[in-house]
Each structure stands twice: as structure tokens, then as C-alpha cells.
Structure 1
Amino acid sequence: MRAWCLLAALPLAHALAALKTQKTASYEDTWQATWRSPKFWDAFAQSTPDLARPELERFRGLCTNLRERDNVGRLTRETNGQTIDEQYRFPGVSGGRRANGANLAGTPRMEWFDDGGLREAAAAACGELEAALSTEAPLAADHGEGFAEERKAGASAWNRMSWKGSQYLPLRSASNAWTETTKALRRHAVPAAHRFCGISRQAAGCRGKVHSDHHNFVLSTLTPLRGCTKATGIVLDGVETPLIDGDGGDPGATVLVDNTFDHQVYNDLTESAEDRYVLIVETWHPALTLYERRAMSDLFALRDLFGLLEHKRAPFGVSDAAAASLLESGGGVRLDDWRLL
């Protein structure tokens, strides 16, 4: 029996009702409850019959970390500058890392980067951005004096990030407006991971927090779309790297980031109030084999599905209204609903 069959037996009416009420649990609380749930791991074992194969030994190590560790005192600062969350440590993929992932170009399983698939997706995103902004404008006043950190934004597809002036529009929450972008990502087999695949917006005069994302199994790609100048960019392990638009409305050059290192995005424009927009695609690290990537995709898709049906929490980047609409239409109960962009 597939995992989605097991989970679909959970009362959908309860999930729908909960999606229409105000949430008190954070995403982190929901994820921790999922990792601690025997029901979740039973469902995953049944949906992944080849879990015992030798090629997935490292992946099983990650599963052990997720299941047995918690989110208290779990960060390790590596000698090379990485900060790793021990609960999310993927064994065996941390050696020889650099904050600027450009050194990975040309290595095995980076063909999608070298062959320009991201540039085609970004070119499509440039064309679709204008139409999307006219129908799904960014949230207002998110960097004023009364700013409060929050991850959700009601029915809006935009999500406030945890620093002033930054918002994020997930492609999977606004897929109807970004069909050419998502097609290009799939056509070039860009190995998009489970968290960030969408549009990052940052207001002028704002800098994000200096932080590490702590997960050693992913990289981030940042491709400038609009409003990106010499005053916009990202600080990687203390080194400023500009994000600059291309000529004639074309996307700019992609910056590859190992986000386990400290980094900070910035829009230091002062002469205008123009927002900057970047296509951000988080991808599996090339150290992960194809077997491991497939297992990771299944694991995090099931986490999203389990969180929705068992804990009544819409996946990160998906509004409660969108999740409720999906369930009401008969969708949202298959792994593929959450595995794909």
C-alpha cells in the first residue's frame, strides 16, 4: 500500500476545517511532530520498498538523525565555516565545501547548471514576472516600524520572510502564472529541492539577517530578474557578490551559493525605492546520487502531505486557502501533489 493511501484515510474534513482557522503551531513545530511520529515513518517505509538497498545507506543515516535528534542545541560550526544542523545532517557530504559554489561547475551531476537550464527558466520568469505582479502584488508595508516576523500571509501567495523587506513567492503556490518557468526547470532536469523554488523580492534599503540555512544536502541558485544593480547582492562568508540584471531585460548571471555558510542578502539602493526580484531555486547538492535524490524527494513530499492531513498545516509556501481549495477539489492527497514544483 502506498503512503498516500494510508494518509488519505485520515479525515479530510478535519484538515479542511483546521485550514480555515488561525494557526498557533509554527512550521518548525509541525515538522518536529512529523519526525517524531511512528505513523509517519511507517508510511514512509511502506512507500519506499527499496529503502534497505546499499545505495541508500547515507540516506538512512539522515532519517535516523531526523527521527532521533531534536531541535535543541543541535548546531555544529565546522572548521571551514559551515554551520550544520545535526538533525538535518546528511552523512558524508560536507567535505571540501566553499561558500561560493562556483567551484562545483563542471563536476558530476551539475550538467543542469553548466548547460544553461536555469538561464532559460530565468528568461521565462522575466517574461512572466510583470503579469504575475499585476495579479499577485507583494504584501504592503512589510518593512515599516511595525514589522513583525511572520511566515504566512493569509490567502496571498507571497510569504513574508524573517527579515524586513523580504518576501517569497513559491512557484508551486502560483504555478498557473509561471507555467513557462516551471516547464523550463523540468525540461532541463534542474534538481529542485523541497524548500525554495520561486521568486525572492527585497525592498530597497533593506538587508537580511546574517545566517546559515544549516542543511548540507542542498545548494541555492540566485538569478537576477529585475531591479538588480551593483547595490544589490549577497554576502557569502564575508565576501560581497553583486546580483546584477542582464542587458535589455534579460536575466543576469546566476550565483551558486552553499547556504550552510553564513550569508546575507542586501538591496542597498538609496536613490530609488525599487524592489529587486531574483529567481531562487534550491537544488540537491551534487554529492547526492540519483538514488538519494529520489529518496529525498519522496521523504519531504511525504512530510508535506503528512503535515497537511495529520497536523492540519499547509506546507511551507502554500497558503491555507490554496491548500483547502486543493483538498476540496479532490487533490492534495498524493505524493506527486507535493513532490513536483
Structure 2
Amino acid sequence: MDSYLRTGNDESEKCESVSSASKPTFDFTERTWKEDFTLIVEDKKLYVTKALLALVSPVFEKMFQSDFKEKDQTEMELPGKKFDDMQDFLRCIYPSITSGISEQNVYKVLPLADEYQVSCLKTKCEIFLINRLEELSTDELYDMLQHATTYNLDGLLEKCITKISYGTVADLDIAIERSSVPLKTICAIQDKMVRRLEETEKEKRWFEAAYKFLLSGLKAAETREIEACAGWTGASLELSLVVKELKYQDIWQSREFRLLGMDAKCSVKRYNSYSNLQLQLSIDENKIDGFTISIVGRFVIKNGTTKNENFTNTFKMTFKDGSSTQLHYMFNNDILFNVAEGYIYQGKFEAEIHLLAEMHKSQ
């Protein structure tokens, strides 16, 4: 179902793209020569075309067939429906005034699209809701899970289950107490949680083994230096450096990230000679007053050939006394700028910066 929503098939290709179009003024309260049927909702009349309803909805199509009493009627009451909801539903299925799905109408339209089996409109609603998942709180996410199960939205359900599986067991227990989450769905969430824990444990064992493997190949002084950073926090980031821009001394190429719970920025530019590079780290100055931050880092430029190793440069920085910016210089790197050596790919250096950091109160 997930791939179906992304790539589309015969059904989804009929659907127009989801949009938040402005609300049409057409309200179905006046009859023209085209309307031949009346829907009565909350004692108000909506004038519609039978053929169009039958075309988009198998439910209406059956109602208007010979075996049903509605065949010869010119009007029909819809008890339990809301007038405004039915208006929005009609606006979404009439081709001349098709309204887009929005936050204002999706929860009105979805139940009706499900009841009247308007699959194209139901798919539109599902796509809209999927696109909202990232902005939802935990409670809202479980509400969305409820919509997915109630209206059989398989694609939305799968994405909700996956996102919820990154949460806590306590959140799941609370959700089970306050809503009727089907047992099958609960089992699917728990299964993903268990699998994620297993993968996390597997990755942890791999990193521990890799750490010991790499540490065993270092010199004694290097080993002591790394072990001294035990318990520090870390950050890794990637940075594509445009070689052409490195010809100019005043152009920084930057990447923002988070370090020690603070906003930080890493920047690189040319320094004096074309082959010299300058690395700058900046940390939010409002957060470091009265603290000392120690950083051990490694700057890497990847090599795309088998004849040369990646370029690496190790550095240390200390932020203290309110200083929010530190610089590191890398000199005489001519080999990097020789295209034949394999460090330049499509006019760029693909760089990585790995940092170990520790913060403590200044003495």
C-alpha cells in the first residue's frame, strides 16, 4: 500500500494532487437545469446530479438502481449527517469545482468518502494525513492511528505503526488505556519496537568491536588521548565543499548542527595560499559563558580512487571565557586540488567532520 501511495496506479492516477485550495462559493443550495435529485440534510436541501453521484460512488449507484426504493424518488433524507460536512464532501467530488483536501475539511470528508466508497477521495485524504505525520505530537499520532484503523487506511496505518515504534512503551500503554487500539495493531507496534531494540543492540556490539579494533592499531599516546575522551558526547557531519569557491578567501562554506545541546556551525574556506584551508567552529555564545568546552576533532576529505587514502587532519579546540569561535589551519594541501589525485568529484570535496566534546564549569 505504501508504494501504491507513492507511485500511483489506475485508481490513484484519477486523483488530482492534494492542495489547500480556497473554499468554493458553490454551495448546492440552488437548483439549475443540471440538478435532478435532492439530498435533505438537517432539514436543508442540497441539489445534486444523480448520474454524477452514481459515477463516483458505488453506494449511490446501487441506491439509484431498479432494486432500490431511491430509484424513482426525487429526494432522499440523510439522517445523522451534518449539512456543512455534506457540502464539503460534494465540493470534493464535483469535477467543475473540485476542492482540495485541507486541515479544515479532511476530517469531515474522510468518513463520508469511506461510507460512500469514493476511493479516489479517500486516497486523497490518506495522502494528506500521511504528509502531516511529522508535525504531530504523541497524542495526535495515536489519534491518527485511530483514524487509520477506523477507515482502513493501510498506508497511513503502516506509517503510524513505524513512527509509534520509535516511542516508549509507556506512551503505548497510555494510548491503549484511552483508546480502542486493535490487538493486531498493538502487536505490530510491539514487534517493531522489539526488532528496533535488537538492531540497536546489534549495532552497539558492532561499534564496540570496531572501537576496540581501531584502538588496538593506534600508538600508545594516541590510545591514551582517545581513552581520555571516554564519556564525552560526539557529533559527525558531512559537508560538500565547492572547489571553485575555495579560490576566494572571503567565502565560507558552512553547515549548522547541534553539539552539547547547543546550536553550532562548522565553516571552511581558503586561507592565504590556494592550498591552505581554514576550519572554523562556532558555538552559541549565550550558552557557554562560565563554561569551558574541550573538543577533539578530525577533518576528512574522501578520496574516490584506490591509489590515495582519505585526507585526514586531527585538531583540538578549547572554548572558554565566553569565546564562541575557534579556528584551525591546514597548510600546503596541494595534492587535494589536483583532480588526478581523486579528491575532487564533480567540482566538490566530499568532507566529513567528526567531533568529541566535553563541557564543564570554568575554574
TM-score under structure 2 length normalisation: 0.21
Q: Going by fraction, where is helix more abundant, 1 or 2?
A: 2
- Larger Rg computed on CA atoms: 2
Q: Going by fraction, where is strand more abundant, 1 or 2?
A: 2
Using CA pairs below 8 Å that are at least 6 residues apart, which structure has the higher relative contact order? Answer: 1
TM-score under structure 1 length normalisation: 0.23
